[in-house]
């Protein structure tokens, strides 16, 4: 039997579908397979958008007929089935996300629902013939979550995660955003007042009781808001058990114990709110890199439109200094593009017709016209945002075990409490008053805080000690995990290296001094803001050289620059800038003799610049993004602490990466990685070695930081999104603090085990 294959991009058939595992894709496959001559179909995803591969018999149907059938099926699905992201507010506990999902999936006509607690988004797919958006929003509201209506596209075209406004409008913003922490702080003050008044007998018992009641209100309000609605719907979770334990303590007159239980548990809730806000900020920080509008050629002229309205194939104009609004291919113009935020490359990359470019990167020099190859919802930056949100949503193995344990433990404790309360009096073993007292003691003793009190002191002490040394650890789990890891991965640019170019070699030709070479090059380059030019000027200033005046600067795209110093032309750039040029009789060295020097320096992973003044070649400058001072010793200390493997992950080229790795002492190097490939490298390392840590500083590192068991961000040089996505931030921008943090984690783990 003959067989041919048709491949169609799923985003073209189903533009709203972002996940290759979406159930609608399976339904589409089933519909297409019913077409005459279709043998079978499947989904592939080879680094790009997912594709629907349709295998058919050409003797029974044609290529065009199969394509039309697939397009008709996609159109039918778009008309009937709808995929939406619904921003929401009000979900303040991660455990509640599963309950909201179950509520949504119980709706007739709902194909699937997923609630992202970290990003504040509900992803739903539903049959419009059975279900409407209003019904979904009502169900969310009944589950304690309210949908947030986004602003019109013209006013706010970028999707943003909406922060919930807590508290009255007259409150200061910090107080509204930290309402739970404020309540816990008040509860702590009330508890201390009542407790100290009781043990010192400076307060009457009734006054101390009032303070304990105020503690119940302040610390228990947040717990009750989640426990009572869940209980009414038949969900028994930790909140229910804690509230029952506090009420039980009050019923037997142990107000101090009940207030203290609620205070501890309320503090845990407050920490959860804080983590939620940090997670949402990570997605927002990514969104800030995406331009809201694009200049698109329509009818022979360029019009500015919202980026969401840009279509595949549209030609977009990007001016110098602007961020690119789309992923695409350059069709006109030549320029250098700073794509370090996406790929991690340490120097702007020259782009010309036919080259691929990414949304969120910065056009440095000349105007570019770019043909759009991906819609705004599918561009590289948007995929990074989705990866971060999904990685933050994932729960750890311990969390999963705890959730399963809680589902059994809480009803069991409540049931056992009821039996202890009722059975002994019925059998005549003891009076009801005594059995009730024992049941309440059992309830209080079985509360999770009874196990938790062994860890908070050690964790808080460890986090405080780390903060004093400039290491921000965003939670006890990360403090514990950091010391247990045996593999650490590092980004190169800005993490293992300084992230800034420096002049490493000044190689003058015979008859030219090193200062003369640097002086002429800096005179020209001081007119440019290119990172390489800035490094040359910085080197000249460090030597306090007097720079002559340069008459104008002309860019030679992809090769270098041209100017004039002391009445003679100056050329500074790569070897190809001089190809075919006649050096003249005054040249002290033919161009061929420079090739060996350039090849040798570039073989060491350095960037080279040849300088010619008039007819004379002055020499070669070499620049590199150099390793951070002391980084080799830092990595050696990590190995001595028990870390077994160090890995470098970078978007830079292989030669540069290998040279830096040799200097810092890293053996496993993986270069030329895009954000998705860094993420896959992390996942591969985790499959091979278990939990690992990842250290980075750029937007391109954010998905990997969020996916790693412990993400570590460089604080001073790190981008906002890297800091928000990471679990540990080295606020002093000093990688040398990492061995201290690992050692502190191990000491804290030992103390926690001893306490338990």
User: From the candidates 491, 616, 697, 727, which is the catalytic residue?
Assistant: 491
User: Collapsing DSSP states into helix, strand and coil, what is residue 243?
Assistant: helix
- Angle of CA points 419, 422, 424, to nearest 5°: 90
DSSP sequence for 264-313 = HHHHHHHHHHHHHHHHHHHHHHHHTTS-SEEEEEETTEEEEEEGGG--TT
Q: Is the distance from CB of 728 to CB of 478 less than 8 angstroms?
A: yes
Q: How far apart are CA 98 and CA 353, in angstroms?
A: 49
Relative to beta strand 356-357, strand 328-332 is antiparallel
Report how far residue 752's alpha carbon sits from residue 741's, in angstroms, rounded to the nearest whole number: 16
User: Minimal CA–CA distance to 163: which of 135, 121, 122?
Assistant: 121
Q: How far is 39 from 54, CA to CA, in rounded Å?
A: 8
Provide CB contacts within 8 A for 676, sequence distance 6+.
47, 383, 387, 703
- 3-state percent helix, strand, coil for the chain, nearest multiple of 5: 50, 20, 30
**CA pair distance 618, 586, nearest whole angstrom:** 12
Q: What is the DSSP letter of 61?
A: S
> Token pair of 503, please?
């002049």
Residue 704: which H helix or E strand, with range? helix 702-707
With the C-alpha atoms ordered 740, 742, 743, 749, is the resulting torsion angle positive or negative?
positive
Q: Which helix (H) or strand (E) holds 102?
A: helix 96-105
Nearest by Cα to 139 from 169, 161, 115: 115
What is the CA angle 418-423-426, rounded to 5?
135
Query: 52 - beta bridge partners?
Result: 8, 43
Torsion over CA: 123, 126, 128, 132 (sign): negative
The Cα–Cα gap between 384 and 365 comes to 26
Alpha carbon distances (Å) from 487 to 567, 682, 743: 58, 10, 15
The neighbour count for residue 464, using CB atoms within 10 Å, is 10
What is the distance in angstroms between the CA of the first residue and the CA of the last residue of the chain?
68
- The C-alpha atoms of residue 650 and residue 704 are separated, in whole angstroms, by 12
**Residue 47's closest CA among 344, 356, 396?**
356
CA distance 250 to 260: 11
702 closest CA partner among 295, 250, 384, 458: 384
- Give the integer Cα–Cα distance in Å for 210 and 195: 11
Q: Give, as one character, the DSSP assignment of residue 575.
A: G
Bridge partners (DSSP) of residue 427 are none
Cα radius of gyration (the chain): 32
- Please say if 727 is a catalytic residue: no
C-alpha to C-alpha distance for 225 and 266, rounded to whole angstroms: 12
Q: Looking at the annotation, which residues are catalytic?
A: 491
């Amino acid at each position: 039997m003959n067989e041919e294959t048709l491949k169609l991009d799923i985003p073209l058939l189903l533009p709203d579908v972002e996940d290759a595992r979406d159930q609608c894709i399976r339904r589409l496959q089933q519909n297409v397979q019913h077409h005459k001559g279709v043998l079978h179909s499947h989904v592939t995803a080879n680094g790009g958008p997912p594709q629907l591969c349709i295998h058919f018999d050409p003797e029974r149907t044609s290529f065009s007929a199969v394509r039309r059938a697939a397009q008709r099926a996609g159109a039918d699905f778009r008309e009937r089935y709808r995929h939406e992201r619904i921003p929401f507010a009000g979900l303040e506990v991660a455990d509640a996300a599963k309950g909201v999902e179950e509520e949504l999936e119980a709706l007739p006509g709902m194909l699937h629902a997923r609630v992202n607690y970290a990003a504040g988004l509900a992803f739903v797919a539903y049959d419009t013939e059975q279900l409407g958006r209003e019904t979904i929003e009502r169900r969310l509201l009944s589950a304690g979550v309210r949908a947030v209506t986004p602003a019109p596209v013209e006013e706010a075209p970028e999707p943003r995660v909406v922060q919930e406004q807590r508290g009255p409008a007259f409150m200061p913003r910090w107080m509204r955003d930290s309402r739970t922490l404020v309540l816990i702080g008040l509860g702590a003050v009330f508890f201390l007042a009542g407790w100290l008044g009781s043990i010192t007998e400076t307060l009457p018992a009734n006054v101390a009781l009032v303070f304990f009641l105020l503690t119940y209100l302040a610390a228990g309000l947040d717990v009750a808001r989640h426990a009572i609605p869940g209980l009414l719907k038949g969900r028994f979770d930790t909140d229910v058990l804690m509230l029952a334990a506090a009420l039980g303590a009050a019923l037997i007159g142990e107000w101090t114990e009940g207030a203290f239980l609620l205070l501890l548990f309320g503090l845990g809730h407050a920490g959860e709110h804080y983590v939620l806000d940090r997670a949402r900020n990570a997605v927002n920080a990514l969104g800030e890199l995406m331009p809201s509008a694009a200049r698109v050629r329509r009818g022979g002229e360029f019009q500015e439109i919202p980026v969401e309205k840009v279509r595949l194939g549209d030609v977009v104009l990007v001016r110098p200094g602007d961020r690119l609004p789309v992923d695409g291919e350059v069709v006109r113009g030549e320029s250098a593009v700073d794509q370090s935020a996406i790929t991690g490359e340490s120097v702007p990359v020259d782009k010309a017709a036919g080259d691929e470019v990414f949304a969120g990167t910065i056009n440095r020099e000349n105007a570019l016209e770019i043909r759009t190859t991906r819609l705004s919802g599918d561009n590289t930056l948007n995929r990074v945002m989705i990866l971060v949100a999904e990685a933050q949503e994932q729960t750890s193995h311990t969390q999963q075990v705890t959730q399963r344990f809680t589902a059994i433990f809480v009803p069991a404790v409540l049931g056992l409490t009821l039996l202890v309360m009722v059975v002994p009096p019925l059998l005549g073993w003891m009076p009801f008053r005594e059995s009730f007292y024992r049941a309440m003691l059992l309830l209080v003793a079985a509360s999770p805080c009874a196990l938790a009190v062994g860890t908070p002191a050690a964790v808080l002490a460890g986090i405080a000690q780390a903060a004093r040394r400039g290491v921000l650890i965003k939670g006890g789990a990360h403090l514990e995990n950091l010391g247990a890891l045996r593999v650490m991965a590092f980004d190169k640019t800005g993490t293992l290296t300084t992230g800034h170019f420096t002049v490493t070699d000044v190689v003058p030709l015979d008859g030219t001094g090193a200062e003369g070479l640097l002086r002429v090059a800096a005179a020209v380059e001081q007119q440019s803001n290119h990172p390489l030019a800035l490094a040359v000027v910085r080197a000249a200033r460090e030597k306090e050289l007097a720079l002559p005046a340069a008459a104008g600067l002309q860019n030679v795209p992809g090769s270098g620059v041209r100017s004039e110093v002391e009445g003679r032309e100056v050329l500074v750039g790569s070897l190809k800038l001089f190809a075919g040029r006649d050096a003249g009789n005054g040249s002290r060295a033919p161009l061929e003799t420079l090739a060996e020097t350039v090849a040798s320096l570039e073989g060491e992973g350095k960037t080279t610049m040849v300088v010619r003044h008039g007819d004379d070649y002055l020499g070669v400058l070499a620049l590199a993004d150099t390793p951070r001072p002391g980084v080799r010793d830092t990595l050696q200390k990590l190995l001595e602490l028990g870390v077994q493997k160090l890995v470098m992950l970078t978007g830079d080229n292989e030669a540069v990466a290998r040279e830096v790795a040799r200097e810092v002492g890293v053996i496993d190097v993986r270069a030329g990685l895009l954000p998705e490939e860094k993420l896959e490298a992390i996942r591969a390392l985790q499959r091979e070695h278990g939990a690992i840590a990842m250290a980075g500083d750029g937007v391109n590192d954010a998905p990997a930081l969020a996916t790693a068991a412990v993400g570590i961000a460089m604080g001073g040089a790190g981008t906002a999104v890297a800091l928000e996505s990471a679990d540990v931030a080295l606020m002093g921008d000093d990688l040398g603090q990492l061995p201290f943090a690992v050692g502190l984690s191990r000491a804290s783990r030992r103390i926690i085990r001893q306490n338990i």
